[in-house]
Structure 1
Amino acid sequence: MIAYIKGILVHIDDNAIIVDVNGVGYEIICANPFAFQSLLDHQVTVNTYHYVREDIQVLYGFQNEDEKLLFTKLISVSGIGPKGALAILAGVDIDGFVEAIELEDDKFLTGFPGIGKKTARQIILDLKGNLSSMISVSAQSSVNKAQDSEGIKEAQEALKTLGYTEREIKAIVPELQQENSSSTDEIVRKALALLMKKS
């Protein structure tokens, strides 16, 4: 497996770059070839994925390890090939994309070329929880808050079915929001403990 190519960037076109390594030109297919424009005629190190099938061998290139990791994860999803993965990478904000997967936002995912509802659900099913190392601290925080909020909503519904009033439940929501758990069961247990104290 060719993990990276190091050499002189000698050519850029709409689909690929060519890197000269000791007189051998490696064509590397990229999502955004012109992102390397400032490095033309300079030495570059390009992260690569060596795609091998019976009838084809292709080098795909990436600006950083996060792009490469997302590419490899995407092509592992049923219904997404290298071209589809590159089309996503061409217009993706990695934090936003991973956040959409974690929050199961299939509407966001279907905004990418070739991604229908079925494929969006498959992406979420296959990749949710597997990309957290790629997401920034601020984005991770917003994901956690959203998940916490969802857990609290579910807990509120559970408490209503147990006979508690809207007023009683709302009185303890601020304390529940301070909890770190997004598990509905844990939130319900905490809520019941708080309600018993207040009764």
Structure 2
Amino acid sequence: MIDFLRGQLVHIENEYIVLEVQGIGFRVFCPNPFVFGKAEGPVTVFTHHHVREDTMLLFGFPTQEEQRLFRKLIEVSGIGPRVALGILGGGSPEQVVSAIYQENISFLVKLPGIGKKTAQRMILDLKDKLDGFGGYELNTGLFAANETQPDDDSAWAEAREGLKALGYTDSELDKVWLKLKETTAAESVDVLMKRALQLLFAG
């Protein structure tokens, strides 16, 4: 199994990145490929190597925590790698774990590919398997102090720097942020970048 790759980022698409490792280009599908665009020099991508009779794919994540949660998600009946990728693209690991523990079905069904029955299975299968995950304490229902979710402004400041590194101007980003503030609650940097890029691509 390929657990991580370290190499030079050579291409970014909406669904995947291409990473060159010792002369070989690996296509790696990611929840938010553009989060890797702000990196300078070699990039480390934590991966899950998915092998079936008719396919062989690599899924990649910027942190081991996302990699671990992805692997937990695909253990749930009805959730394949593509759906798990959509879940992580639609919510931060902290938000997903919190929603599972709090049995917040209304949040889970808003994630791509998740209906009510699948949300119920996620809660049933994972609720007791996430203690300590990312600093989440099941006995309190809270994240540890150093794992608190970012507020809108601090998360956007980091996301904005990543988008500027991709070549977007201040005026373009100011317009996008006005739209995001109207429709987005507190989100992670990755989610904010993904939603901002969707708006930028849409014009």
TM-score, with structure 1 as normaliser:
0.67
Equivalent residue number for residue 7 of structure 1:
7
**Deviations 1:123-164 (CA, angstroms, capped at 9, x unpaired):** 0111002112224358973459xxxxxxxxxxxxxxxxxxxx
C-alpha distance in 2 between matches for 1:15 and 1:111 = 20
C-alpha distance in 2 between matches for 1:76 and 1:106 = 19
The count of residues paired between Structure 1 and Structure 2 equals 143
> Structure 1 residues 46, 103: closer, same or farther in 2, change over 3 A?
same
Equivalent residue number for residue 129 of structure 2:
130
**Deviations 1:31-63 (CA, angstroms, capped at 9, x unpaired):** 1000001126x2111100000000000010001
Identity, % of aligned positions: 45
- SS of residue in 1 equivalent to 2:44: strand
What is the CA RMSD across the aligned residues, in angstroms?
1.9
C-alpha distance in 1 between matches for 2:139 and 2:34 = 30
> Structure 1 residues 12, 44: closer, same or farther in 2, change over 3 A?
same
The list of structure 1 runs, each at least 4 consecutive aligned residues, that deviate by more than 6 angstroms after superposition, is none
Within 5 Å, which residues of 2 pair with 1:6-155?
6-39=6-39, 42-136=41-135, 141-143=140-142
Is the Cα contact below 8 Å between 1:102 and 1:143 reproduced in 2?
no
The higher relative CO (CA closer than 8 Å, separation ≥ 6) is in: 2
Equivalent residue number for residue 196 of structure 1:
none
Q: Which amino acid aligns with 2:72?
A: K
C-alpha distance in 2 between matches for 1:18 and 1:143 = 37
Tell which structure's C-alpha radius of gyration is larger: 1
Unaligned segments of structure 2, at least 5 residues: 144-203
> Structure 1 residues 34, 139: closer, same or farther in 2, change over 3 A?
farther
C-alpha distance in 2 between matches for 1:7 and 1:118 = 40
